[in-house]
Amino acid sequence: QKTQLEQQTTQLDQQKTKLEQQKTELGQQKIQLGQQKTKLEQQTTVLGQQKTEIELQKIKFEQQKAQLQWHEIKIDVIQSENQTQRNEAASIRKQITILQKEISKLKSAALWLYPSQEKAHSDIHTLPI
C-alpha cells in the first residue's frame, strides 16, 4: 500500500506540476493577449487619426475645387466682358469709318456747291477725321 500511496503522491505531484505549468502558460497567454489588445487599440487610434487626416484633406480638396470653379467662372465672365468690349470697339470703328465717309461726302458737296469758298475756307480740308 505504501508503494501505491507513493505512486499516487508522485502522480499528484506530477499533476500539480503540470497544472502549475499550465497556469504559467495561461498567464503568459493572458499577457500576450493583453499586449495584442493594446497593440490593436494603438492601431485603431492610428487608423482613426489617418481617417481624420484623410477627411480633412478631402475637405481641403473640395474647397480648392470649389475655388478653382469660382476662378473659372470669373475668367469666363472676364473673357465675355472682353469679347463684348472688342465687339463694341469694332462697332465704334465701323461707325467712325461711316462718319468719315459721310464727312468726305459733305466736304465734296460743300466744295461743289461753293467752289469760290474753297480758298476762303481752306480749313475744311484740314478737319480732323
Q: Is the separation of the CB atoms in 100 and 129 below 8 Å?
A: yes
Q: Which residue would you say has higher pLDDT here, 7 or 121?
A: 7
DSSP characters over 43-86: HHHHHHHHHHHHHHHHHHHHHHHHHHHHHHHHHHHHHHHHHHHH
The per-residue pLDDT of the chain, averaged, comes to 91
- Burial 78-102, CB ≥16 within 10 A → b, else e: eeeeeeeeeeeeeeeeeeeeeeeee
pLDDT at 111: 87
Question: How far is Cα 69 from Cα 86, in angstroms, rounded to an integer?
Answer: 25
% of the chain surpassing 90 pLDDT: 78
Whether the per-residue pLDDT at 127 is higher than 50: the answer is no
Residues 6 or more apart whose CB falls under 8 angstroms from that of 117 comprise 110, 111
- How distant is the alpha carbon of residue 31 from its chain centre? 48
pLDDT at 12: 95
Residue with cell 490593436: 40
pLDDT digits (tens, 9 = 90+) for 80-98: 999 999 999 999 999 999 9
Termini Cα distance of the chain: 144
